[in-house]
Amino acid sequence: MTEQRYLKPGRIQVQLLHNAVGWLTRHGISIAGSRELAVRGRKSGEWRRNPVNPVTVGAQRFLVAPRGQTQWVRNLRAAGGGELRVGNHIERFTAQEVPDAEKPELLRTYLARWQWQVGAFFKGVNPNSSDEELLRIAPDHPVFRITEQA
């Protein structure tokens, strides 16, 4: 089994970035399209929240995990869906993990939109990188196709 990549955020980053963006999003202020992901914990069943940056490609929406195999990724795999929130607006969705072979276009689009915030986690790859370079890092970045529930 290969080692699963996970970049744990530093204490300052959690306090300044995650907590601030999460607070703003919970209070109805989205930073450049950010959302608060709410997903049930796979062990506790409790709601777990984390700021995320959804990206739209064509008519579909996706969640990309820039830090790799995070707790929210593991919880989303187990739960099969969750909620995206901004203030009081809640969007329930189901999630399907995307195979690595389908990720280059998705990662390219994600980086074009969010590189200013997450570029450091992508090993020098950027929106102008080749498909081969994006395929090389694809296993390090889980991607989920999200479909809104009626």
- When pLDDT is cut at 50, 70 and 90, the band that residue 2 belongs to is very low
12, with CB counted inside 10 A (0-12, 13-18, 19+), is: exposed
Through-space distance between the first and last CA atoms of the chain, rounded to whole angstroms: 38
The predicted model gives 24-35 an average pLDDT of 77
- Judge whether 5 lies within some domain: no
- Judge whether 39 lies within some domain: yes
- Judge whether 105 lies within some domain: yes
- Judge whether 35 lies within some domain: yes
Please indicate whether residue 10 or residue 108 has the higher confidence score (pLDDT).
108
Give the CATH number of the domain where residue 105 resides.
2.30.110.10
Compute the Cα dihedral for 123, 9, 17, 62 and give only its sign: positive
Q: What percent of the chain has pLDDT over 70?
A: 86
What would the pLDDT profile of 95-108 be if each residue is shown by its tens digit? 999 999 999 999 99
**Residue-range definition of the domain harbouring residue 124:** 11-148
- Judge whether 2 lies within some domain: no
73, with CB counted inside 10 A (0-12, 13-18, 19+), is: buried
- Judge whether 45 lies within some domain: yes
The predicted model gives 64-89 an average pLDDT of 95
CB count in 10 Å sphere of residue 69:
18
- Judge whether 4 lies within some domain: no
The count of domains in the chain is 1
* Whole-Å CA distances, 97 to 23, 74, 103: 27, 11, 10
